[in-house]
Structure 1
């Protein structure tokens, strides 16, 4: 019998053992998820953000670091996009100038990198990221379907985008985060995010949860469902470009995001409202998927 044949079988068995090893499965799956969120250069970017020496905008104990470093951001980010779409002018700007349909993963990677740099990066890198975004905003303008002119650097539109993001990130953290923030820490989170918002051009951003709620309520008369908003919701929830194995986990994220939206948003976006299911099965699925993401993506190392 050919000894070399047995040697080949032994090598294949060893490779199979390695592939089925839980730590190897975790590493491979985690790398695949991180590549989707952060892009091919994600590991190097992560190390540069977290390990570069220098002062930061936010100290290690600030609430913004807890919120933006938690897996609940996956649900909060999708909720924010759905909520933001209800402002017809903001949605027209996205539909007219964003590549979210042609390159949704690229847009996600740019957004996640911006959040990571401004939250965890050095002060100089954070300022540079803000300057780049402001430069992009100055070049975007147009008109809505009904002829209303808009500019991406309009402080009013910037405020709406900021409010929807902060409300979504905080709400989903309180529901699905590892540990909830206390009332004082929630105010601290809103105040932390106000620092970045002010740098981006938002006038007098709110610094407390009560202030955030009041400013959101003031936008209600401007919000409505539009064909562009409903198209974006269908794309984000039903037809995102995903490989087959990722569809079930993404469905859990999508369901949790929809369930976390205020009830008044469902009709304009043509989304279902199922209170009992949302409080039980959907919430359980949301906790399950965020727990799985935490297992796959351990916390990044931090600069001393």
Structure 2
């Protein structure tokens, strides 16, 4: 890289909504919501079930924890890593997907897990969950900034093998996508296995009290934040929306009260590495977005 051009901001950079928001601790809750949502696509979740023991309870559920951490690492690398690191992470994901297939639960036919319609579902469920939990927990994104967030993350879609032009570029398009795909969704045996795992993931007996104290409330909050139609598919009662919003805001406030420098020390430390590369002015701070007009003028990167 030409050093005279300055440090590499990566695929997003500090001027993006994504950069400012993806360091927020409620992203962990959003990630669990995404799993609940993604599991409602019978073919997509079958692809997971046939190619890992993530939600089968085998190995103490170790592969599920690994899957969550790998997803978090991918999101962190793509958001805060260099352009080279992000492109390399995307290439790894695409290569892995080309090797995997699964059996359609409805027809018995084999299908590739990297079919565009499946990749699009996984992407949209993830981006919708990230944006929904961020906003509902108190991050003050304007409608224009929310649209910018959806548009920016077509970069992420490209990295996993999608044509960005066919990926929703704003919140209206994202909502239209969910309306279109809803008839294909169902809570079959695989989705219920994911639900059962997320409610009470298997761990060492000595850690069960901690799971019940910490994990279960967070997982319940992630489930509670799902749209009403998802609750209907799972067949479990939907908590009152106002109660979920209050709990999300309270939980967000509590998690954000933990010093960012301490939270960001956790491996692999993508944000701290990015700040060292880009300088202290690159520190993610989503509450500055409301007055940051420059973000709205930033050209799209998709």
Which bin holds the TM-score, normalised by the shorter protein? 0.7 to 0.9
1:186 equivalent among 146, 152, 155: 146
Written as runs of structure 1 = structure 2, the 5 A alignment for 1:3-22 is none
Q: How far is 1:57 from its partner?
A: 0.7
- Aligned partners of 2:237 and 2:254: how far apart in 1? 21
- Aligned partners of 2:18 and 2:221: how far apart in 1? 22
Checking the alignment, whether the CA contact within 8 Å between 1:76 and 1:169 is kept in structure 2 is yes
Matched with 1:274 is 239
> Aligned in 2, Cα 1:120/1:263: closer, same or farther, shift over 3 Å?
same
Q: How far is 1:112 from its partner?
A: 0.8
Q: How far is 1:66 from its partner?
A: 2.1
Matched with 1:106 is 66
Which of structure 1's runs of 4+ aligned residues deviate more than 2 A? 238-247, 276-296, 298-301
For the residue of structure 2 that corresponds to 1:58, the secondary structure is coil
Single out whichever of 159-168 and 146-155 deviates more from structure 2: 146-155
> Aligned in 2, Cα 1:269/1:148: closer, same or farther, shift over 3 Å?
farther
- Aligned partners of 1:283 and 1:70: how far apart in 2? 13
Q: How far is 1:268 from its partner?
A: 2.0
Q: How far is 1:282 from its partner?
A: 3.8
Matched with 1:215 is 177
Matched with 1:144 is 104
Q: TM-score, normalised by structure 2?
A: 0.77
Work out whether 1:264 is the aligned partner of 2:229: yes
Unpaired runs of at least 5, structure 1: 1-52
Unpaired runs of at least 5, structure 2: 1-6, 56-60, 266-270, 279-302
Matched with 2:287 is none
- Aligned partners of 2:180 and 2:161: how far apart in 1? 19
> Aligned in 2, Cα 1:216/1:264: closer, same or farther, shift over 3 Å?
same
Matched with 2:192 is 230
Work out whether 1:197 is the aligned partner of 2:163: no
Work out whether 1:247 is the aligned partner of 2:212: yes
Q: How far is 1:256 from its partner?
A: 1.4
Matched with 2:268 is none
Q: TM-score, normalised by structure 1?
A: 0.76
Work out whether 1:162 is the aligned partner of 2:123: yes
For the residue of structure 1 that corresponds to 2:186, the secondary structure is coil
- Aligned partners of 2:258 and 2:237: how far apart in 1? 26
Checking the alignment, whether the CA contact within 8 Å between 2:24 and 2:256 is kept in structure 1 is no
- Aligned partners of 1:294 and 1:221: how far apart in 2? 44
Checking the alignment, whether the CA contact within 8 Å between 1:197 and 1:205 is kept in structure 2 is yes
- Aligned partners of 2:185 and 2:65: how far apart in 1? 27
> Aligned in 2, Cα 1:120/1:298: closer, same or farther, shift over 3 Å?
closer
1:173 equivalent among 134, 151, 156: 134
Greater share of residues in helix: 1
> Aligned in 2, Cα 1:273/1:100: closer, same or farther, shift over 3 Å?
same
Checking the alignment, whether the CA contact within 8 Å between 2:25 and 2:252 is kept in structure 1 is no
For the residue of structure 2 that corresponds to 1:107, the secondary structure is helix
